[in-house]
Amino acid sequence: MIFNETFTLHNGVAIPKLGLGTWFIDDDKAAEAVRQAVCIGYRHIDTAQAYGNERGVGEGVRTCGVPREDIFVTSKVAAECKSYDSAAESIDRTLAVMGLEYLDMMIIHSPQPWVEVNQSDDRYYSENKEVWRALEDAYHAGKLRAIGVSNFEEQDLKNLLDGCRIRPMVNQILVHIANTPLSLIEYCRQHDIVVEAYSPVAHGAAMQNPAIADMAAKYGVTIPQLCIRYDLQLDTVVLPKTANLAHMKANAELDFCISDEDMAYLEHVEPLDYGDAGYFPVFGGKL
């Protein structure tokens, strides 16, 4: 089963290949979503300070009936935290809000504050090194079992790799059919950084694409299943987000393999139109 499959981070920690993303799950619904996911078999839960649901996710982890050590929990330092002190304080606040003694992983949500993504050339190199130092210290203090980054390009990774005490263990980035940053993925592999793929269904845009729909029909699977399988075959951790129990179950039914020829075809599908999702902060919109 996919729930039993893991990657091993460069510090020896195992991370499940399939996780539950919780972006846009309201805080008052997050606990039940986590409990349902864990009941199905999920052992990897991904949240963030910016999602506003850390309290609910933490409640779900604590009350799901599965030992804490069997669930991999990730959160993210808010993109606006660009100093050592603000990052360190945010880590402690996350632990308090979630009611957890430790997190399995904490990552920097973005190299730039959201309002500057795609709007500014400033990559906050010195500031990100300070945030990274706060993560390293929290790791050494036993508050975090692993640390990483999100939305980091090669230049941002190079900045951290130059002089860090601990290399990033993951880079969580947008990877989906028609958006496959192979060069960045390969750079991460060369530096033993596991790639995590968020929004594998392209914020829903994949659901309206005829080429993707035809390929899903060829394999007798749903479009989300095809999209998740595509990312898995790129050797990435995949984080589909949903609070729908039926979708959680279907997203884990991945007992098929996409051929090399079809993987190449899907890689070159024309870029997708995200519609309203294109205005989310990660694409340079305003909060």
Render 17-50 in DSSP notation, one character per residue: SB-EE-TT--HHHHHHHHHHHHHHT--EEE--GG
Angle at 63 between CA 57 and CA 65, to 5 degrees: 125
> Among 72, 142, 77, 70, which residue's Cα sits nearest to residue 111?
77
Query: Distance between CA atoms of 176 and 183, rounded to whole angstroms?
Result: 14
Distance CA 63, CA 11 (A): 29
Q: Which of 268, 273, 271, 275 is nearest to 215 (CA)?
A: 268
CA–CA distance, 224 with 247 (Å, rounded to integer)? 9
- The 8 Å CB, 24+ separation contacts for 118-121 are 118/283, 118/284, 119/284
Give CA 199 to chain center in angstroms.
Answer: 8
Residue 84 catalytic?
no
Question: Residue 275's CB: how many other CB atoms inside 10 A?
Answer: 11
Q: Which residues contact 265 (CB under 8 A, 6 or more apart)?
A: 215
Selecting among 42, 51, 124, 139, the annotated active-site residue is: 51
Q: Which amino acid is at 187?
A: Y
C-alpha span between 242 and 228 (Å, rounded): 13
DSSP-derived secondary structure letter, 272? P
The catalytic residues are 51
